Structure 1
Amino acid sequence: MVVLSVPPEVTVILLDIEGTTTPIAFVKDTLFSYIRENVKDYLHAHWGEEECQEDVSLLRKQAEEDSHLDGAVLIPPRSDGADDTEQMIQAVVDNVCWQMALDRKTPALKQLQGHIWRAAFAAGTVKAEFFEDVVPAIRKWRQAGMKVYVYSSGSVEAQKLLFGYSTEGDILELFDGHFDTKIGHKIESESYRRIATSIGCSPNNILFLTDVTREANAAEEADVHVAVVVRPGNAGLTDDEKSYFNLITSFNELFLPSST
């Protein structure tokens, strides 16, 4: 087994989710498929609720900003007519599917997705899955005095659902905090500086674990330590990436000097 020694100045471990703690297949095949298959039923069931209308308003505003893009789906203004409501719901469904097909990560889309997943997790329809090494390793890190945070493109609410309703039970207590793209995009170095400031540490006190090399590059530019996680189903790495980055295939490969 490869062993990667964690630098002694590191006091915080920052985790990506998809492809790092959680199989990409679970996210794409289970979570995202659930949205596509259930968004219309969800909208029908919750249409009269203020939260749902706020979600639709955000999507409508985003659609207006996207109107110049090929295939963009506009959402008509709200009306009290039954036919108009059905037309609007279909427009929301089409807009959501269009954004998801392009793998967009707009706050409006993430917010609605989070609310749909919340209903699914609370009903027990979906439970989050993690790689088997993840939870034991996080417990070990915390026992060694490390702080553990999550940084994902998924909303903080969606993150808390994953860790609150999982095959391992509710493990939210294992995390000191959560960050999403409201603090900045994951391929921008400034985002990692903001995270360090928010935590109250220096960037070089953080070790970021991710499967995406563009995120790893951005974190390194901010003076954050990085290890690229190689998991089944993740995108392949180039030979240059393999030789440049510290690679791990399991959280068990991280060695914490403070734990000895």
Structure 2
Amino acid sequence: MVRAIVTDIEGTTTSLSFVKDVLFPYSTRHLPGFVRAQGHRPEVRRLLDEARKVAGMDGDDEQLVGVLLRWIETDQKLAPLKGLQGLIWEEGYRQGAFQGHVYEDAARWLREWHKQGLRLSVYSSGSEHAQRLIFGHTPFGNLTPLFSGFFDTRVGGKKESTSYAAIIRELKLPAEEVLFLSDVREELDAACAAGLRTWCLVRGEGPQVDAGPHPVARSFDEVRP
């Protein structure tokens, strides 16, 4: 029996195009000005220092901005970059530049599963802050109260089974009672290796998804926990 559901965001609850065509370009346009204007804030300075350490460089902030922009362009899953993007996106949400995209079927079933007593969590390469922003600013209202957990790459990479083992320890549930939803075969394989149940979301966006041995759903309407 499934008692908890952990869901990916991009390509699963949320359109790939929202992340690629809205969020990423917004952070690219605003990152240089954000660093110049907000670099003195302790939270921002900590993330910049972390990024500088990851990059292995001693240059000033202007040089670091160039590195950060290249990381965005190549979609690097690096914690300090994701943290900075989350802060930049927060300004965008607050100013009404965009809303968080969530599929109608995902919003509806997340509410239904929560009503049924299932524990819901998010696991995404985006920072916890960025996850909360997406679900907190949707056309369907604030969905964050539906979730009891938000996991990002601080628990490990999404294609590593040890990451899902860490999530299981945090949830304090047997692995077979936890369902993971994603549109990426390697993530589902890693979750399966850790003992979780899996469903592959194939929403018809982007390149064709290879679901492998995982059950396939074209929307949350077809997921059977």
Question: Shorter-chain TM-score: what band?
Answer: over 0.9
Amino acid at match of 2:6: L
Q: Higher Cα Rg: structure 1 or 2?
A: 1
Aligned-pair CA distance for 1:63: 1.1
1:103 Cα deviation after fit: 1.7
Q: CA deviation at 1:131?
A: 1.2
- State the one-letter code of the partner of 1:41: G
The alpha carbon displacement at 1:227 in A equals 0.5
What SS class does the counterpart of residue 158 from structure 2 fall into? coil
CA shift for structure 1 position 75: 5.0
Q: 1:230 aligns with which of 202, 212, 215?
A: 202
Contact 1:23-1:232 within 8 A present in 2 as well = no
Q: Which residue of 2 aligns with 1:161?
A: 133
Deviating beyond 3 angstroms after TM superposition, the runs of 4 or more aligned structure 1 residues are none
SS of 2:104's equivalent in the other structure is coil
CA drift of 1:206 comes to 0.6
CA offset digits 1:137-190 (Å, max 9, x no partner): 111111222111100011111111111122222111111111111111111111
1:52: how far off?
A: 2.2
Matches for 1:1-260 after TM superposition, within 5 Å: 9-64=1-56, 74=57, 76=59, 88-238=60-210, 241=211, 244-255=213-224
Normalising by structure 2, we get a TM-score of 0.95
| 1:80 alignment partner in structure 2 | none
Report the 3-state secondary structure (helix = DSSP H, G, I; strand = E; otherwise coil) of the residue aligned with 2:125. coil
Q: Deviations over 1:113-148 (max 9, x none)?
A: 111111211222221011120111111111222111
Residues 147 and 48 of structure 1: CA distance in aligned 2, closer, same or farther (over 3 Å):
same
Shift in alpha-carbon separation, 1:75–1:35, aligned structure 2, 3 A? farther
Contact 1:42 1:116 in 2 (8 A): yes
Contiguous gaps of at least 5 residues in structure 2: none
Partner SS, residue 176 of structure 1: strand
> Which deviates more, 88-97 or 219-228?
88-97
SS of the aligned residue for 1:133 comes to helix
Q: Partner letter of residue 194 of structure 2?
A: A
Q: Deviations over 1:89-116 (max 9, x none)?
A: 4312211111122221111111111111
Question: 1 or 2 for the larger relative contact order (CA 8 Å, sep ≥6)?
Answer: 1
Deviation for aligned residue 1:254: 2.3
Identity %: 34
Please give the alpha-carbon distance, in whole angstroms, between the structure 1 residues aligned to 2:103 and 2:22: 15
- Give 3-state SS (helix, strand or coil) of 2:198's partner: strand
Q: Say if 1:139 and 1:174, in contact at 8 Å, map to a contact too.
A: yes
How has the CA–CA distance of structure 1 residues 98 and 75 changed in structure 2, closer, same or farther, with 3 Å as cutoff?
farther
Aligned length: 225
